[in-house]
Structure 1
Amino acid sequence: MQDQSHWDRVYGTNSSDTLSWFQPHADQSLGLIQRISSRERNRIIDVGGGTSTLVDDLLGLHGFDITVLDISESALEVARQRLSSNARRVRWLVGDITRLALPAHAYDIWHDRAVFHFMTTPEQRQA
């Protein structure tokens, strides 16, 4: 997996909609999340959320306590700027998921879209 400086460069020098993985809306993920939501208030973490618009769509629904985690501070800043004052309704975490200690049982739903695809070495996959 690339390091933080790599991803900060990617998001700091490219518009989100020019990146190959960009989606205007993460409709498939959103549909699956809505289907498995089982509580009045679901705690969700979007790992590798970056500049994804999934957080925008989740904020438009009721019943989600949202955390977005990404290794790139630049990516999260793009998302925060896009959300404007709604960004305060999201918990933002910067870190490498293979090194970050998340609290046990803190989330009801884990979402990631190919984050683990970038883990190419056995050491990264075992972390």
Structure 2
Amino acid sequence: MLKDHWNEVYSSKPVEKLGWYEPIPTQSLKLIKKCDIKRDEAIIDVGCGVSTLIHNLLSEGYRNIIATDISDIAISKLKKRLGNEFSSKVKWIIDDLSEPKKLLNLRNISLWHDRAVLHFLTDEEARKSYLEILTNAVKLSGYVIIAAFSLKGAKRCSGLDIKRYDERMLSEFLGNKFTLIDSFDYTHRMPSGDLRPYIYTLFQKDKE
């Protein structure tokens, strides 16, 4: 099961040794700032893992945050790292984006953030499920940030195949309800020292 795979990943290494670990998620924060949403608007971090993004957002005063991941071990570790005061301010959802139960009910999201999740969905049905959740959840004029391995990036990660993207492919995936606002290439240096090229994109959902 995919859940078992990710629980094993998060159990087997310290957080700081995971390939996608960032002490400060600079590129994501830059795009979030560009959205200029209010501090009480809903933000969801899909595939949050044990990311430092949640801590940074809470520290900057955002107070309507949803964190979701398929791995209950990742969620448990992130709660512990945040501490009781911060973790109590977050809505936590353990669910599978490719076979969702709880996530289907999401609505009125102002900002959808995904760093390194979509590219793991290599199955067409899984991507359809992801897109359905996203489209229903994000409100009109809401924002979507997707960061994925670029076409220059690795073909596998954490023992799984990857579907790589460029700006055009992500635009086509989201469809005509979303307009591309910004995109850029960024090379992430893994804790091991290896380099991973990403494409970062920011979209806005149409007003109607």
Q: 1:110 aligns with which of 109, 112, 135?
A: 112
Tell me, yes or no, if the aligned pair for 2:98 and 2:125 is still in contact at 8 Å: no
Match of residue 19 from structure 1: 18
1:49 partner amino acid:
C
1:39 partner amino acid:
K
Deviation at 1:42, TM superposition (A): 1.6
Q: Which has the higher strand share?
A: 2
Partner SS, residue 64 of structure 1 = coil
Deviation at 1:104, TM superposition (A): 4.7
Give % identity. 36
2:53 partner amino acid:
L
Q: Unpaired segments of 5 or more residues in structure 1?
A: none
Deviation at 1:51, TM superposition (A): 0.3
Structure 1 CA distance, aligned partners of 2:24 and 2:79? 16
Partner SS, residue 125 of structure 2 = helix
Match of residue 99 from structure 2: 99
Deviation at 1:27, TM superposition (A): 1.0
Q: Which has the higher helix share?
A: 1
Partner SS, residue 62 of structure 1 = coil
Deviation at 1:40, TM superposition (A): 4.6
Structure 2 CA distance, aligned partners of 1:104 and 1:94? 13
Partner SS, residue 80 of structure 1 = helix
Deviation at 1:122, TM superposition (A): 1.9
Deviation at 1:98, TM superposition (A): 2.2
Over 3 Å counting, the alpha-carbon distance change for 1:18 and 1:40 in structure 2 is closer
Q: CA RMSD in A?
A: 1.5
Structure 1 CA distance, aligned partners of 2:36 and 2:98? 26
Match of residue 87 from structure 1: 87
Over 3 Å counting, the alpha-carbon distance change for 1:122 and 1:40 in structure 2 is closer
Q: Which has the higher contact order (CA 8 A, sep 6+)?
A: 1
Q: When the two structures are superposed, what TM-score results if normalisation uses the length of structure 2?
A: 0.57
